[in-house]
Amino acid sequence: MLKIEKWVLGPVATNTYLVGDPDTNRAVVIDPAWDGKFLAEEIKKGGWQIQSIWLTHAHFDHFGGLADLLEALGQEKPEGFFVGLHSKGNLLWKVKGGAVMFGIKIKTAPKPDHAFTEGEILPLGNHQFIVHHAPGHSAGHVIFHCPGEKILFSGDVIFRQGIGRTDLLGGSYETLMDSIKTWVLPLPDDTRIYSGHGPETTVGAEKNGNPFISKDI
């Protein structure tokens, strides 16, 4: 069973997740939101080896800690290490994820060196995740689904009782609802959803209790 750790970090309380396979000590970090040095210490304490860093999308609050985390990991990165982002997130990346617009400064990190694609399989120890391109909150948004463990990392696509905002660069309400219909709602009801903000939920709970879903789907 995969181990999931969560930290709420940064100016807009973004969830950073560590997902680790205890059998191999391999782990990934999803959205290193803030406080990269702190994250590196926690990773060390847990005895994890970080094989890659997965960005759901390029809003500043989801990678504000990336530069410091990479620096702190230093040479300890294993072979094949990468930082992944969908190529449609490059534009947002270039403008630092909108940080300037919000009057926030973030440290420049090296550009992601892996472009996620729809349907891509990401192995983690003895487990596998599938990448789905789920635009609407931002053009290059992806979500990570592990069918074996029934878990979904949904970034800012869907939250408990909410959905991502669609008024920012590349946002579209219709596109977001389409992404939710295509990639989230067909999953088994007991699939746990770990969002970019707020508490965890399940597909079943959102099907029944999410006001946007009952209204529009």
Q: How far is CA 88 from CA 142, 146, 159, 183, 215, in A?
A: 10, 23, 22, 18, 29
Q: Distance between CA 125 and CA 122 in Å, rounded? A: 10
Smallest separation (angstroms) from Zn ion to the CB of 173: 15
95-127 burial by CB neighbour count: b if 16+ within 10 A, else e? ebbbbeeeebebeebeebebebeeebebebbeb
Single residue of 151, 159, 196, 202 touching Zn ion by CB under 5 A:
196
* Nearer Cβ to Zn ion (55/70): 55
Task: Calculate the CA dihedral of residues 23, 25, 29, 34 and round it to 10 degrees.
Answer: 130
* Nearer Cβ to Zn ion (78/199): 199
User: Of 91-99, 124-132, 194-202, 208-216, which segment contacts Zn ion by CB under 5 A?
Assistant: 194-202
Smallest separation (angstroms) from Zn ion to the CB of 78: 28
Size of the site for Zn ion (CB under 5 A): 4
Which stretch of DSSP H or E encloses residue 204? helix 203-209
Q: Binding to Zn ion by residue 59, rule CB under 5 A?
A: yes
| Burial (CB count <10 Å: 0-12, 13-18, 19+), residue 71 | middle
User: Of 57-65, 69-77, 184-192, 205-213, which segment contacts Zn ion by CB under 5 A?
Assistant: 57-65
* Nearer Cβ to Zn ion (147/198): 198
Smallest separation (angstroms) from Zn ion to the CB of 13: 9
Single residue of 21, 31, 35, 156 touching Zn ion by CB under 5 A:
156
Smallest separation (angstroms) from Zn ion to the CB of 201: 16
Binding site for Zn ion (CB under 5 A): 59, 61, 156, 196
